[in-house]
Structure 1
Amino acid sequence: MRRVVITGMGAVSACGLGAEALISATQAGKSGAKPVQFEDLPQQRVSTAARLSKEDIAAIVGPKPHKMRDPVVEYALHAAREAVAQAGLGEEHFGEACGVSIGSGQGGAETLNTNYLKFGREGPMRLDPMTVPKIMNNAAAGWVSIEFGAMGPAFCLATACSAGSQSIGLGLQMVASGQVERCLAGGAEACLVSGGFRIWELLRVMTATQNRPFSKDRNGMMLGEGAGVLVVESLDAAQERGAQILCELTGFGTNADAGDLLRPDPKRAAACMRMALKHAGLSPDRIDYLNAHGTGTVANDINEVVALRDVFGENLEGLEVSSTKPIHGHALGAAGALEMIVAIGALLRQSAPPTINFSEVDPKIGLKPVPNVAKPVSISAVMSNSLAFGGINASLVAQRYDDC
């Protein structure tokens, strides 16, 4: 199997446009949470989400929205363009040598929501005739492939909160096996629409105050949106063209709980992390920073920490843990991609980002994550976890290139 590296990163998030904006915000503990109010939800209980600013959306979509592209596609394209530019890829680097793996949990949510509302108010004759190509989950992957002429395998994993992480892992597998030389891999989500927001409210997992993962007073998650795309490339191909190598992507694990649809199984999450460590050829004590799934719900945080202790020891000695979801929100299908960029940022900056809003250790968990302020630390390897509805888990491991 070939060695695989990351040569480019791109991001769109509530923290701003660009991977650097995302990494800087998570390191500074500056949240992208903003007030949200939907005209269609007069009794809206939750009024905060990590949404993009109007200015950033305008910069991405432009003055005249594309008639065949939902915002989820525009987010993915923007992130992909940034990643490709950083990697220094030209037309000669795409074709059949490049694959695409862009996950999305909900696809074109804004288009679907708009058309359902129009159908109810105005009847079937006023609907957008381009609705089908705009709402497809694989639209982002398709448009990214078209934009760059990437003719290798193109995938869209719709595995809820693990979609972004699994997509990067699939890109790693394709490159390592020699199927392609490189892959544009990540996730995209544009889920902050009235109908979608309301059904999340009904699930009663969103906080009406602040997102506080692992804290004793945590009371739910905060939705987010955006996209993250990585250029995943064989080491040989990157070296041959003189590319700057950001890090080496060395481990991927994924499995299923085959149990409860909504509540994660600590034993299966632990098995997933061990799979990623085995793939990377690392013992648990080699991981210095771990970006947790850390949604801030009562059940998720307890079960995830049980899994962490199973893998890394009861005291988690030498391991810095944080959840950055209070900063960029839980971006569902884009979450794993954004959080992998955050973890790589920690590796590059040698600094563990904080879990903001943390107030008090929960005795039922006993974990004090990196609280509120970033912590300088020597980091040679990082892990990022995604534990999705459906009982689908994914873990990724990256290492400093000069340490591999």
Structure 2
Amino acid sequence: MKRIAVTGLGAVSALGASTDENWQAVSAGRGGIARCVIGDSPYGPGGLELPMARVAEGYGAALDEALGRPTSGGLDPFAAFALAPALEALEQSGLRGDAVLKERTAIIFGHGQGGLATLEAGYERFFGMKQARMHPSTVPKVMVSAGVSAAAMAFEIRGPVFSISSACASSAHAIAQGAAMIAMGQVDAALVGGSEAVSTAGSVRAWEAIRAMSPVTCRPFSADRDGMVLGEGGAVLMLEAWDHAQARGATILGELVGWGMSSDAFHITQPSPEGQARAIRQAATQAGVLERDDILISAHGTGTPLNDAAETSSLVEVFGDRARAMPVIATKSAHGHLIGGSAALQSVLGLRALAEGLAPPIQNFTRRDPACDLDLVVGEARPITAGLLLQNAFAFGGLNVALLFAAPSGGS
């Protein structure tokens, strides 16, 4: 089985339009959550004001400039939020335009819901405005594979290209799938990650209907946490066979040393600590690090009462009391919940935390909850000496993924 190097990172969110901008914000304790009014169309039920983390206006123009041609206008926002980070990761890796790798590179993105903005605009046109004809670009913009298709065409990549959809675990599954293909020798490199743009009127109302949204803000692991905050954006990692990256003198930013996947087979929305623990244990066992203590935990950390308590229990089940001494970060408190794109963005930020030796603080934290008795990084960023990053991703339907990364000098 080939080792998996990380040679490129890309990110966009409410915190900024690059990995550096996102990292500078979270490490300094700056957040991108703000109150927004959604759904004030004349065809809807009226505006709803809630906290959200939305990408700044002008993003499409910036993407077009970066690509050197108009592209964003033909994409739903969710696809654009994947394309720009893919460009950033590809350029950092030094592989853009590599003639050999064009057929030995995969693109795998994860998205929970796809082109909701396009879909809702079409429904408004059809049901609200009573227009019989839908826009001719509706289908190619709505399809969940729009992002990977756009990336393949933009970068002339002819290897395996497809999307994965598993709700909030989507981009974590995409990362694991790309790693598995490299490990087995099917490809030499893979652009992996995900994105989401679900802060549309209908989507927000749907999330509100299941009482998942906080009316205040995202407060992971805090005793008064009361729900998640929706975010927009995406992130992409360039994974590469370790020997291939070394042979070409690439800068290796980290190593993916283990991944675990499981299903709760329990409840459509309620998490199971046992199911989560199986994924975490599987990743740690594959990586051979089950007994190590130098682990930075990047929690799924949605800020919902059930999730954060269940995640605490799953960590203690796997690592015992040692889990309570491992530093825990939860960056959704800064960039919101990107649904299918969250795990990729959190992986990017976690890898930067390993590289910088600095754990960003959990934002909006108020007071401790006895049910979440972990070593939470709160207040301000904390220097760390961790050699490993555990990235958790848990989804509705009981779908769990755990990813274990190592710093370049902290492998298994």
* TM superposition score category, shorter chain reference: over 0.9
| 2:297 match: secondary structure | strand
Pick which of 91-100 and 103-112 moved more: 91-100
Return the offset for 1:35.
2.5
Return the offset for 1:393.
0.3
For residues 350 and 372 of structure 2, what CA distance do their matches in structure 1 show?
Answer: 23
Which residue of 1 is the match for residue 237 of structure 2? 230
Q: Which amino acid letter does the alignment assign opposite residue 171 of structure 2?
A: G
Q: Paired residue for 1:47, among 40, 50, 67?
A: 50
CA offset digits 1:311-349 (Å, max 9, x no partner): 122352441012110101100010010010011011111
Q: Which amino acid letter does the alignment assign opposite residue 8 of structure 2?
A: G
1:108 aligns with 2:123: no
**Gap runs ≥5 in structure 2:** none
For residues 379 and 15 of structure 1, what CA distance do their matches in structure 2 show?
Answer: 25
TM-score by length of 2: 0.94
Q: Which amino acid letter does the alignment assign opposite residue 29 of structure 1?
A: G
Return the offset for 1:242.
1.4
| 2:74 match: secondary structure | coil
Which residue of 2 is the match for residue 94 of structure 1? 101
| 1:8 match: secondary structure | strand
For residues 344 and 295 of structure 1, what CA distance do their matches in structure 2 show?
Answer: 20
Return the offset for 1:123.
2.1
Which residue of 1 is the match for residue 76 of structure 2? 70
Return the offset for 1:59.
2.2
Which residue of 1 is the match for residue 409 of structure 2? 402
1:365 aligns with 2:372: yes
CA RMSD between the two structures: 1.7
Pick which of 15-24 and 56-65 moved more: 56-65
Which residue of 2 is the match for residue 153 of structure 1? 160
Q: Paired residue for 2:269, among 254, 262, 283?
A: 262
Q: Which amino acid letter does the alignment assign opposite residue 93 of structure 2?
A: A
For residues 379 and 229 of structure 2, what CA distance do their matches in structure 1 show?
Answer: 17
1:119 aligns with 2:126: yes
What does 1:20-31 align with in structure 2 at a 5 Å threshold? 20-31=20-31
For residues 63 and 359 of structure 2, what CA distance do their matches in structure 1 show?
Answer: 30
Contact conserved, 1:351 with 1:374, CA < 8 A, in 2?
yes
Q: Which amino acid letter does the alignment assign opposite residue 52 of structure 2?
A: A
For residues 70 and 129 of structure 2, what CA distance do their matches in structure 1 show?
Answer: 24
Which residue of 2 is the match for residue 37 of structure 1? 37
Q: Paired residue for 1:252, among 234, 244, 259?
A: 259
Count residues with an aligned counterpart: 404
Which residue of 2 is the match for residue 308 of structure 1? 315
Which residue of 1 is the match for residue 400 of structure 2? 393
For residues 392 and 109 of structure 2, what CA distance do their matches in structure 1 show?
Answer: 17
For residues 36 and 110 of structure 2, what CA distance do their matches in structure 1 show?
Answer: 25
| 1:29 match: secondary structure | coil
Which residue of 1 is the match for residue 5 of structure 2? 5
Which residue of 2 is the match for residue 162 of structure 1? 169
Contact conserved, 2:325 with 2:374, CA < 8 A, in 1?
no
Q: Which amino acid letter does the alignment assign opposite residue 51 of structure 1?
A: R
For residues 294 and 377 of structure 1, what CA distance do their matches in structure 2 show?
Answer: 20
For residues 211 and 381 of structure 2, what CA distance do their matches in structure 1 show?
Answer: 31
**Gap runs ≥5 in structure 1:** none
Return the offset for 1:286.
3.8
Q: Which amino acid letter does the alignment assign opposite residue 299 of structure 1?
A: L
For residues 6 and 315 of structure 1, what CA distance do their matches in structure 2 show?
Answer: 28
Return the offset for 1:87.
0.5
Return the offset for 1:68.
3.5
Percent of residue pairs bearing the same amino acid type: 37
Which residue of 2 is the match for residue 82 of structure 1? 88
Which residue of 2 is the match for residue 56 of structure 1? 59
Return the offset for 1:113.
0.9
Q: Which amino acid letter does the alignment assign opposite residue 135 of structure 2?
A: D
Return the offset for 1:96.
1.9
| 1:156 match: secondary structure | strand
For residues 200 and 73 of structure 1, what CA distance do their matches in structure 2 show?
Answer: 21
CA offset digits 1:49-100 (Å, max 9, x no partner): 0101113354236796655321111111101000011001133243221011
Pick which of 384-393 and 235-244 moved more: 235-244
What does 1:185-200 align with in structure 2 at a 5 Å threshold? 185-200=192-207
CA offset digits 1:211-260 (Å, max 9, x no partner): 11111111110000111011000011111221111011111111111110
| 1:16 match: secondary structure | coil
For residues 403 and 326 of structure 1, what CA distance do their matches in structure 2 show?
Answer: 27
